[in-house]
C-alpha cells in the first residue's frame, strides 16, 4: 500500500494537555525572565517533536514588549544518563546561539529568542508554515523539486562558509551550557561500523571483506579527525528537517549538530540523504548540479576545492563511509525481514536503498580506479540480490520526478 504525502504543512494535532501546560507555562516564565515583564502565550500547536522533546508553535497573546506574533518552543526532557551520547539540548542550544550571532540575511537556521538551560527549553523564531523539502519531493512538480534541491545545496554551502573556523566558539558554547564534551554522532557510528560491519556482512550475506578494502576505509576515516576543511554541520540534514522558504532553505533540527569535515555533508549531494527515511533516487544531472551549486559557495573559503583532484578523493572517501555506516544501520540481520527504512513513512525497502548505494559506490570506484573497492561492492550487490531478490535493484525516483 502506498502512502501519499501532499505539499504544505503537516496536519495539526492536539498535544497532550499536560505537555501543553508544562511547556507553555515554562516558556512564559523564560520569556518573562528575559523581558522583565509577564508574557502570555496561547493556541499551542504540536509540531511533532520526538521522544526527546516537545515542539510547539505558540501565539504571543500578551506582552508589553515587541515580540514576533508566533514563536516555536522546544522543551527537552531529562538529560540522558552519563556515558551516553552528548546531550541533544546542549547541541541545539549552542548551535542556535552560534547561528543567531550571524547577520539575519545569511542565517540558515531559526533565530534564538530565549533559552533556559536549567529548564531545558528553547524559544525560537517561527520560520512559518512552508513546505519542507520532503513535502516538495513527494509532490508532483519536478521543477519545484529541482529548485528546492538546488536551494538546499546552496544553503548547505552557505552554512559551511559562514560557520567555518567556529569550532572553538562552538566548543565554548557547549561548555557554557554545561556539556563536558561533544561528539559527532555519525562519526561515532562510522567508527563502530568500521569495526562491526565486516562480521555482519559475512554472517548475513556471506561476503568476506578483503584487507585492501579495510585499509582503504582506514584511510577514508581520516575525514573523521581534525583537518582544514571542517565547519559547522546540523548533522541531520534530511529533507524533513529542511524548510523551503522565500529566502532559501532553512535548517530546523540541531539536536546532533557538530563541527566536522564538510565532505561528509557534501556526499549527501551525490546519493540522496543516506541517513534519512526518504532516500530515493533523483536524476543524475540534478545531483551534479547540486554539487556544483554547493561548490560555488564553499570555494570562497576553500579555493582549492575548485580543483577536481582535491575535492574528488575527499568526496569518494566520504561516500565510502556513508555506504559503510548506512549498511550497518539498515541491513536486515539474520531472522529480520526486509522492511521499509521507516515503517510509517513512504520509505524504500532497506535492501533496495542499500543495493543502490553499493551500485553507485561500484561505479564511482571504477571511475577513480579503486578496483578493490569496485570488486568488493559488486560482490555485495550480488549478495543483496541473492538474499532479497532482483527487486533490490529497483530503487525508484522521488515522486516529483516520476
CATH code, domain carrying 167:
3.90.1200.10
Do residues 158 and 283 share a domain? Answer: yes
List, run by run, the mean pLDDT of 10-residue segments along the chain (402 residues): 30 46 88 89 84 88 87 86 72 93 88 93 92 95 96 96 93 88 86 96 96 96 94 90 90 91 91 87 91 97 97 96 96 90 88 95 95 97 95 92 94
> Residue 72 belongs to what domain range?
17-125
Does 26 share its domain with 112?
Answer: yes
CA dist., res. 75 & res. 21, Å (int) = 12
User: Which CATH number fits the domain that encloses residue 42?
Assistant: 3.30.200.20
Any domain includes 10? no
Distance, C-alpha 346 to centroid of its chain: 18
Examine the domain organization and report whether 335 and 368 are in the same domain.
yes
In a domain, 9, yes or no: no
**In the beta sheet, which residues pair with residue 245?**
248
Encode pLDDT of 2-51 as tens digits.
Answer: 223 233 333 333 344 456 668 899 999 999 988 888 999 999 988 876 66
Q: How far apart are CA 3 and CA 290, in angstroms?
A: 27
> 389: alpha, beta or left, given left = phi > 0 and alpha = psi -120 to 50?
left
Q: Is residue 272 part of a domain?
A: yes
**Domain boundary residue, one of 102, 125, 148:** 125
The span from the CA of 16 to the CA of 38, in Å, is 25
User: How far is it, in rounded angstroms, from Cα 156 to Cα 233?
Assistant: 9
Q: Are residues 197 and 337 in the same domain?
A: yes
In total, how many domains does the chain have? 2
Same-domain status, 73 and 100: yes
Whether residue 255 is found in the same domain as residue 388: yes
Start-to-end CA span in the chain (Å): 18
Per 3-state DSSP, the chain is made up of helix, strand and coil in percentages (nearest 5) of 50, 15, 35
Q: Are residues 370 and 256 in the same domain?
A: yes
195 in the same domain as 111: no
Name the DSSP letter for residue 10.
P
Whether residue 189 sits in one domain with residue 165:
yes
Closest to 165 in 3D by CA, of 354, 316, 300, 328: 300
- What span, in angstroms and rounded, lies between the C-alpha atoms of 353 and 27? 41
State the pLDDT at residue 185: 85
Same domain for 354 and 221: yes
The per-residue pLDDT of the chain, averaged, comes to 89
Q: How far is CA 8 from the centre of its chain?
A: 21
Q: Which segments of 49-188 are extended strands (E)?
A: 53-62, 70-76, 112-116, 121-125
The 3-state DSSP class for residue 297 equals helix
User: pLDDT by residue (tens digit) across 203-258?
Assistant: 999 999 999 999 999 999 999 999 999 999 998 888 989 999 988 899 988 988 99
Residue at a domain's end among 90, 125, 160:
125
Are both 373 and 313 inside the same structural domain?
A: yes
**Quick check: is 3 in a domain?**
no
Q: Show which of 125, 155, 176 is a domain's final residue.
A: 125
Please report whether residue 212 resides in a domain.
Answer: yes
Question: 363 and 284 in one domain?
Answer: yes
Amino acid at each position: 500500500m502506498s502512502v501519499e504525502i501532499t505539499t504544505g504543512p503537516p496536519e495539526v494535532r492536539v498535544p497532550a494537555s499536560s505537555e501543553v501546560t508544562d511547556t507553555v507555562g515554562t516558556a512564559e516564565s523564560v520569556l518573562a525572565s528575559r523581558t522583565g515583564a509577564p508574557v502570555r502565550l496561547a493556541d499551542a500547536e504540536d509540531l511533532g517533536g520526538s521522544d526527546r522533546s516537545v515542539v510547539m508553535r505558540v501565539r504571543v497573546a500578551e506582552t508589553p514588549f515587541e515580540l514576533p506574533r508566533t514563536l516555536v518552543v522546544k522543551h527537552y526532557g531529562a538529560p540522558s544518563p552519563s556515558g551516553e551520547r552528548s546531550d541533544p539540548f546542549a547541541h541545539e542550544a549552542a548551535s542556535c546561539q552560534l547561528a543567531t550571532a550571524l547577520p539575519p540575511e545569511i542565517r540558515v537556521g531559526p533565530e534564538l529568542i530565549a533559552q533556559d538551560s536549567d529548564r531545558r527549553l528553547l524559544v525560537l523564531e517561527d520560520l512559518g508554515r512552508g513546505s519542507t523539502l520532503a513535502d516538495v519531493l513527494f509532490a508532483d512538480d519536478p521543477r519545484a523539486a529541482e529548485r528546492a534541491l538546488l536551494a538546499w545545496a546552496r544553503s548547505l554551502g552557505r552554512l559551511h562558509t559562514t560557520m567555518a573556523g567556529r569550532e572553538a566558539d562552538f566548543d565554548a558554547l557547549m561548555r557554557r551550557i554545561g556539556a563536558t564534551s561533544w561528539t559527532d554522532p555519525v562519526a561515532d557510528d562510522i567508527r563502530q561500523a568500521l569495526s562491526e560491519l565486516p562480521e555482519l556482512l559475512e554472517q548475513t550475506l556471506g561476503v568476506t571483506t578483503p584487507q585492501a578494502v579495510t585499509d582503504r576505509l582506514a584511510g577514508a576515516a581520516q575525514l573523521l579527525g581534525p583537518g582544514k576543511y571542517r565547519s559547522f554541520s546540523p548533522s541531520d540534514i534530511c529533507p524533513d528537517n529542511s524548510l523551503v522558504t522565500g529566502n532559501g532553505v532553512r535548517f530546523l533540527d540541531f539536536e546532533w549538530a557538530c563541527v566536522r569535515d564538510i565532505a561528509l555533508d557534501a556526499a549527501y549531494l551525490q546519493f540522496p540523504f543516506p541517513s534519512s527515511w526518504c532516500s530515493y533516487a533523483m536524476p543524475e544531472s540534478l545531483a551534479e548540479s547540486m554539487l556544483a551549486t554547493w561548490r560555488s559557495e564553499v570555494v570562497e573559503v576553500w579555493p582549492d576545492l575548485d580543483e577536481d583532484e582535491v575535492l574528488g578523493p575527499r568526496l569518494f572517501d566520504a561516500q565510502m563511509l556513508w555506504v559503510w555506516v548506512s549498511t550497518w544501520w539498515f541491513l536486515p540481520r539474520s531472522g529480520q525481514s526486509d522492511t521499509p527504512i521507516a515503517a510509517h513513512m513512504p520509505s524504500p525497502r532497506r535492501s533496495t536503498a542499500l543495493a543502490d548505494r553499493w551500485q553507485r559506490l561500484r561505479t564511482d570506484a571504477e571511475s577513480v580506479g579503486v578496483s578493490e573497492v569496485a570488486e568488493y561492492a559488486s560482490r555485495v550487490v550480488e549478495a543483496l540480490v541473492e538474499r532479497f531478490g532482483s527487486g533490490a535493484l529497483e530503487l525508484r525516483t522521488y515522486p516529483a520526478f516520476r
